[in-house]
Amino acid sequence: MSKKIAILTSGGDCAGLNAVIRAITHRAHKLGWEAIGLENGTAGILEDPPRVRALKPGDFGGTLMRQGGTILGTTNSKNPFQYEMPNGEIKDRSDEIIAAFKALEIDAIIGIGGDGSFAILNKLAEQGGLNLVGIPKTIDNDLDMTDFSVGFDTAVAVATEALDRLQPTAASHDRVMLLEVMGRDAGHIALTAGIAGGVDIILIPEIPYNVESIAKKIAAVKESGRNFALVIVSEAVKTPGGEKLEVVYHGGEKRYGGIAEYLGPKVAEATGFETRVTVLGHVQRGGSPTYNDRLLASAFGVKAVELVNEGKFGRMVAWQDHNVVDVPIEDAIKRCRTVGPDDMLMHTARSLGISFGDE
């Protein structure tokens, strides 16, 4: 009887997950494993009957790998160790989940997630003696020990395209355009799209900035004879005073308001330029994955099954030196991979005259 791999997707959405699931299914099938999809992750396995579905190569013959999202859904923020019950009670259901895996006679789990998901899955695996392999996915690209995680490439492509749309209208109408992109703790999306999108200023959480420096850079742009400027800012950036903005309230109503909306009026005032703010939001997470994300997804999915087949557990597949390798999951989640001071792209950006609002 063939052995079973369970696949689950977990955490925030990104493009390329269906391509990962497809690759796992194909490779498992070839190596004689059965592939089982867990719907809604560890939350679905607790339902009665558990929400599982058999996965066959033939399920993926059509457009699925070209589509965003994940056919397996997510845990919807249900933490096995602090599970929120319908009555609001918080409960540790990790033993139930482990029992459910065993009842389904699952031999190995491939978890597709980010650092948060891996921390939970790893703990679960250790507690229950489950065989876990991880595949990194996060648009933020902040998982350590891998150059790329699934979803990042698409997010940067979407952000760059937004800058391509904002530039001509900025130029026609003498404006500063401020684009806020995602990146919860790290500035990779902003840094990468900022260079590719030809911005004047990049603001990322790794580098303290001030409004005066922004104004100075924009004044220099104006001085050079250009009538517009482009600024990209990561959502993780705090106010110059160090405040993290998330939501504001207005007359009892909950209102959103992030760093770009905070900075917009300040930049306008400091520069005299009309300033417009765009908050790109969830379009960065969805839509058809770029070819690079599909490629990464395919190589990762194949490798993860091979690790399972070789009995190498507790590993995360990773992209290093233009190749697929594997690293210990626990090492990969030890720290958030932020933009370092010696990052080659930082140097590239500064060499192109891009300011980080810090000088």
Composition of the chain by helix, strand, coil, percent to 5:
40, 20, 40
Q: Which of 140, 142, 153, 200 is catalytic?
A: 140
Instruction: Supply the minimum distance, in Å, between the C-beta of residue 280 and a copy of itself.
Output: 8
Token readout for 279 is 């908050």
Backbone angles phi, psi at 64, to 5 degrees: -55, -45
Element (H, E) at 179: strand 175-181
Q: Which stretch binds a copy of itself (CB under 8 A): 71-79, 92-100, 120-128, 331-339?
A: 71-79
Report the residue number, 94 or 160, with the smaller CB distance to a copy of itself: 160
Token readout for 157 is 């492509």
Span 79-138, contacts to a copy of itself by CB under 8 A? none
In whole angstroms, how large is the CA radius of gyration of the chain?
A: 22
Report the residue number, 130 or 192, with the smaller CB distance to a copy of itself: 192
- Contact partners, residue 252, CB within 8 Å, separation at least 6: none
Which of 107, 295, 313, 330 is the binder for a copy of itself (CB under 8 A)? Answer: 295
198 lies in the binding site for a copy of itself (CB under 8 A): yes
Which of 10, 42, 70, 141 is the binder for a copy of itself (CB under 8 A)? Answer: 70
Residue 64 burial class via C-beta count within 10 angstroms: exposed 0-12, middle 13-18, buried 19 and up: middle
Which residue in 87, 72, 83, 130 sits closest to 105, CA to CA?
Answer: 130
Span 156-195, contacts to a copy of itself by CB under 8 A? 156-158, 160-162, 164-174, 177, 192-193, 195
216 lies in the binding site for a copy of itself (CB under 8 A): no
Span 328-347, contacts to a copy of itself by CB under 8 A? 344-345, 347
Report the residue number, 91 or 347, with the smaller CB distance to a copy of itself: 347
# residues near a copy of itself by CB under 8 A: 100
* Residue 315, beta-bridge partner list: 133, 328
Which of 47, 246, 265, 312 is the binder for a copy of itself (CB under 8 A)? Answer: 265
Distance of CA 320 to the CA centre of its chain: 18
Contact string (CB under 8 A) for a copy of itself, positions 36-55, x = contact: --------------------
Backbone angles phi, psi at 121, to 5 degrees: -65, -40
Angle between helices 291-309 and 152-172 in degrees, nearest 10 = 170
SS3 153: helix
Instruction: Supply the minimum distance, in Å, between the C-beta of residue 127 and a copy of itself.
Output: 27
Our answer to whether residue 140 is catalytic in this structure is: yes
Which of 256, 312, 331, 334 is the binder for a copy of itself (CB under 8 A)? Answer: 256
Which of 47, 85, 123, 291 is the binder for a copy of itself (CB under 8 A)? Answer: 291
Whole-angstrom distance, CA of residue 285 vs CA of residue 61: 24
Report the residue number, 99 or 299, with the smaller CB distance to a copy of itself: 299
Which residues are annotated as catalytic? 140
